[in-house]
Amino acid sequence: MRYFFIGYLVVVTLVIGALGFRGDKFSKPPIRLFPDMDEMDKVRSQEKTVFFTDTMGSRLPLAGTQPFGYDANAQDVAEQNQVTFSGLEGYYNTGHIGDYYGSGMPTELAGSGIELLKRGEERYNIYCAICHGKNGNGQSSVPSQYGIPGVANLHQFLEADYPNGRLFEVISHGKGNMGGYAYQLPIKDRWAIIAYVRALQVAKQAPINQPAVKQAVEEAASVK
């Protein structure tokens, strides 16, 4: 026991000698075992830096840089403003018509048709299929392997009870365990995914090669 107290006293003396008492001031920087990212290789806004020859820390965008979602070849302003900026209103940008969720597809997508479905399939397979499954039934490798609960079966959310505007809001802002994708997906891509989900719901009812079902799938992407 005596050796324990001697060892304990030595350790305390070393700690106090190295770090000092709380509130003491030193002329040299303190010893920090865990710097906690106090000093990082970064330049604060408007600060100078010796890294660049002009000493400007804040750099201008590279030539040809475009804002996320902007398409210089778009036919109209609605197509250019594919990303949700604050203050945009209307069914196309929010999924709402007044205080209610809108149904059908926005008029801004008129004429998109099959191209919209193809885009929706591509975006769905990248962002959605990993959890909701390739056919939208909520059965995929992620919930089963990682135990993620509550992955929705998209075939349960038919338009009659779950309008497109509500789907748009969920994709944009998330719900439950699902995060929002407003910053990853331009507005038009979110509507394309909705069109593809509706096509999956229709296709589940019968083989896709049946003419009546094929026509219903195409109508899912049309403006109503």
Cα distance between residue 121 and residue 134, in whole Å: 9
Task: Please calculate the CA angle 194-198-203 and round it to the nearest 5 degrees.
Answer: 145
Alpha-carbon gap, residue 87 to 97, rounded angstroms: 15
Q: For residue 92, is it within any domain? A: yes
> What global pTM score does this model have?
0.61
Task: For residue 132, tell me if it sits in a domain.
Answer: yes
pLDDT given for residue 140 in this prediction? 81
Write down the pLDDT at residue 121: 94
Sign of CA pseudo-dihedral 10, 11, 12, 13: positive
Among 170, 159, 160, CA closest to 198:
159
Q: Within a domain: residue 16?
A: no
Amino acid 8 reads Y
Q: 183: domain CATH number?
A: 1.10.760.10
pLDDT of residue 9: 81
Q: Residue 84: its pLDDT value, please? A: 45
Ranges of residues in the chain with a pLDDT under 50 are 76-84, 224
96 three-class SS: strand
* Residues 29, 32, 36, 41, CA torsion sign: positive
From CA 116, how far away is CA 94, in angstroms rounded? 19
Q: Is residue 13, in this structure, part of any structural domain at all? A: no
Looking at residue 207, what is its pLDDT?
Answer: 60
Q: Look at the chain and report how many structural domains it folds into.
A: 1
- The answer as to whether 39 is a domain residue is no
Domain residues for the domain of 158 are 77-220
Helix (H) or strand (E) holding 116: helix 113-127
For residue 128, is it within any domain?
A: yes
Reported as a single tens digit per residue, the pLDDT across 118-152 is 999 999 999 999 899 998 988 887 766 777 777 88
Residue 108 resides in a domain: yes
Residue 57 domain-assigned (yes or no):
no
| pLDDT value at residue 72 | 60
